[in-house]
Structure 1
Amino acid sequence: MNRRIKSFCFSSALIASLFLTWIFPIPPVSAFPLSNEEQEILEKSLSIVEIDREIARIEIRRQEAERSLLDLTEALVTTEAKMLVSQERAGARLKAYYMGEREDLLTALLSTNSWKDFFKVLDYYELIMERDRDILTAYKKDLAKLNKSKKQLSALTNNLTQMKENLLKQRERVIELQRSVDSKLGASTDPEHLRVMIEELTTYWENVGLHEVRRYFSALASAMMDFQDFLKDHQDSLVSENGGYVLVIREEDLNAFLHSKNALLSNMAFIFEKEKIVATGSREGLNLRVEGHYTVEDEPQNALIFHVDRLVFNGLELPDTTRTELQNDFDLGFYPQKIVPFVKAYEAAIQKGTLTVKLKLSL
Structure 2
Amino acid sequence: MLSRNSLRLIFAAVLILACTLLPLAPPVYLSADPGAGLSASLPSIPDNEETRKLLEQTLSSAEIEREIVRITAEQQTLESKVATLKEQAAAKQTAIADQQERAGAVVRAYYMGERDGLLAAFLSAKSISRMLSLFDYYEIIIGQDRKTLSQYEGQYKDLKNTLAAAKRSAEELAELKTALEEQQKRVLALNEEIEGGIKASTDPESMSLLLEEFTKYWENIGIHEVRTYFKALSTAMKHLPEFVQNRDGVLVRKGMTYTLALKEEDLNEFLVSQNKLFQDFGFQFKDNEITATGKSGGLSLTLTGHYTIQEKPVNGLMFHVDHVVFNGLELPDTTRKSLEEEFDLGFYPSKIVSFLHATEVSSTDGMLHVKLSLSF
TM normalised by structure 2 equals 0.88
CA distance in structure 1 between the partners assigned to 2:245 and 2:111 by the alignment: 69
Residue 299 of structure 1 aligns to a residue whose secondary structure is coil
- AA partner of residue 209 (structure 1): G
Other-structure match for 1:27: 42
Does structure 1 residue 195 correspond to structure 2 residue 208? Answer: yes
> 1:151, CA displacement in angstroms?
2.0
Other-structure match for 1:6: none
Cα deviation digits, residues 92-139 of structure 1 (max 9, x gap) = 111111222212112333444544443333222211111111111112
Residue 296 of structure 1 aligns to a residue whose secondary structure is strand
The answer to whether the Cα contact below 8 Å between 2:240 and 2:347 also exists between their aligned partners in 1 is yes
> 1:25, CA displacement in angstroms?
2.4
- AA partner of residue 253 (structure 2): S
- AA partner of residue 20 (structure 1): P
Q: CA RMSD in A?
A: 2.1
> 1:210, CA displacement in angstroms?
1.0
> 1:353, CA displacement in angstroms?
0.1
Match runs of 1:329-344 below 5 Å = 329-344=342-357
* Greater shift in the superposed pair: 258-267 or 174-183: 258-267
* Greater shift in the superposed pair: 234-243 or 323-332: 234-243
Cα deviation digits, residues 244-287 of structure 1 (max 9, x gap) = 11100100000001111112222211111111111111113211
- AA partner of residue 312 (structure 2): E
Cα deviation digits, residues 182-218 of structure 1 (max 9, x gap) = 0011111111111121121111111111111111111
Other-structure match for 1:325: 338
- AA partner of residue 83 (structure 2): L
CA distance in structure 2 between the partners assigned to 1:200 and 1:280 by the alignment: 25
* Greater shift in the superposed pair: 254-263 or 107-116: 107-116
Does structure 1 residue 239 correspond to structure 2 residue 248? Answer: no
CA distance in structure 2 between the partners assigned to 1:141 and 1:96 by the alignment: 21
CA distance in structure 2 between the partners assigned to 1:129 and 1:214 by the alignment: 64
CA distance in structure 1 between the partners assigned to 2:351 and 2:277 by the alignment: 25
Match runs of 1:1-363 below 5 Å = 20=34, 23-29=38-44, 34-241=47-254, 243-363=256-376
> 1:33, CA displacement in angstroms?
5.1
How has the CA–CA distance of structure 1 residues 134 and 12 changed in structure 2, closer, same or farther, with 3 Å as cutoff? farther
How has the CA–CA distance of structure 1 residues 182 and 214 changed in structure 2, closer, same or farther, with 3 Å as cutoff? same
> 1:82, CA displacement in angstroms?
2.6
> 1:144, CA displacement in angstroms?
1.6
- AA partner of residue 102 (structure 1): R
Cα deviation digits, residues 315-353 of structure 1 (max 9, x gap) = 111100000000000000011111121121111001110
Other-structure match for 1:5: none
Work out the number of aligned pairs and report it: 351
How has the CA–CA distance of structure 1 residues 93 and 12 changed in structure 2, closer, same or farther, with 3 Å as cutoff? farther
How has the CA–CA distance of structure 1 residues 17 and 338 changed in structure 2, closer, same or farther, with 3 Å as cutoff? closer
CA distance in structure 1 between the partners assigned to 2:229 and 2:325 by the alignment: 13
Q: Which has the higher helix share?
A: 1
The answer to whether the Cα contact below 8 Å between 2:251 and 2:260 also exists between their aligned partners in 1 is yes
Q: Alignment identity in percent? A: 42
> 1:14, CA displacement in angstroms?
5.3
The answer to whether the Cα contact below 8 Å between 1:24 and 1:207 also exists between their aligned partners in 2 is no
Cα deviation digits, residues 55-107 of structure 1 (max 9, x gap) = 00000111111111101111111222233222211111111112222121123
Residue 283 of structure 2 aligns to a residue whose secondary structure is strand
CA distance in structure 1 between the partners assigned to 2:91 and 2:59 by the alignment: 48
How has the CA–CA distance of structure 1 residues 326 and 186 changed in structure 2, closer, same or farther, with 3 Å as cutoff? same
Q: What 5-or-longer segments of structure 1 have no aligned partner?
A: 1-10
> 1:303, CA displacement in angstroms?
0.9
CA distance in structure 2 between the partners assigned to 1:202 and 1:105 by the alignment: 83
How has the CA–CA distance of structure 1 residues 352 and 73 changed in structure 2, closer, same or farther, with 3 Å as cutoff? same
- AA partner of residue 25 (structure 1): A
The answer to whether the Cα contact below 8 Å between 1:27 and 1:197 also exists between their aligned partners in 2 is no
- AA partner of residue 218 (structure 1): K
Residue 282 of structure 1 aligns to a residue whose secondary structure is strand
The answer to whether the Cα contact below 8 Å between 1:24 and 1:203 also exists between their aligned partners in 2 is no
Residue 312 of structure 2 aligns to a residue whose secondary structure is coil
- AA partner of residue 175 (structure 1): L
The answer to whether the Cα contact below 8 Å between 1:24 and 1:208 also exists between their aligned partners in 2 is no
Question: Which one has a bigger Cα radius of gyration?
Answer: 2
* Greater shift in the superposed pair: 147-156 or 34-43: 147-156
Residue 249 of structure 2 aligns to a residue whose secondary structure is helix
